[in-house]
Structure 1
């Protein structure tokens, strides 16, 4: 198992898309994904729809890993992203990301929360 990394997923899904959205989501997220962000749970279809909305609004973005740990099927990061939306709005957030990896290394369960950074 070669585990995926969240910075690669964010870049390919939102900031530097080279793949179609469905292909990018398939590459990084297991079919039985449960993604919980700030208390809101989404299955993979709902997560993909959320990503489609974001992808349509993002003009550019960068992601930086501050801390990263992978131990077996457990993966965790503290990362920051900064993105500029098509309307000029800048979003800068720090995220605490905790995941369980599927046997093939893709994200299967994700719990994350974060805060705005000035």
Structure 2
């Protein structure tokens, strides 16, 4: 089963895995993502992950709910990112995705809200 927490772990916390390799493992070549209503393509997503990886010292992902049915995937998680400067940012994220036949994410829509620490 596709898992957004596994994808985020590979993208942000697995330093010996290149971002492009993590993308290939978890996302289709024509992947699209909407975050809070703004759509981006895979190339833009890759750039964002490269930048974010440079900021991140540690990441903690807690899956609260997860459901997969056929090609549909839904998940809710809390992510806490500790920056290299020691700052901590937390968000609750709601994910609705389409999974391709090969098990990778083809498109994803997410809504997020900041958490007060």
TM bracket, shorter-chain basis:
over 0.9
What's 1:81 paired with?
79
SS in 2 for 1:13: helix
Q: Distance in 2 between matches of 1:18 and 1:110?
A: 25
Q: How does 1:19-38 map to 2 (within 5 A)?
A: 19-38=17-36
Runs of 4+ in structure 1 off by over 2 angstroms are 15-18
Contact 1:15–1:62 (CA<8 Å) still a contact in 2?
no
Contact 1:12–1:18 (CA<8 Å) still a contact in 2?
no
Say if 2:87 is the partner of 1:94. Answer: no
TM-score (norm 1): 0.94
Q: CA RMSD in A?
A: 0.9
SS in 2 for 1:8: helix
What's 2:106 paired with?
108
SS in 2 for 1:27: helix
Q: Distance in 2 between matches of 1:80 and 1:106?
A: 22
Deviation digits for residues 47-93 of structure 1 (CA, Å, limit 9, x no counterpart): 00010000011011110100000000000101001111112221111
Q: Distance in 2 between matches of 1:31 and 1:70?
A: 21
What's 1:58 paired with?
56
What's 2:45 paired with?
47
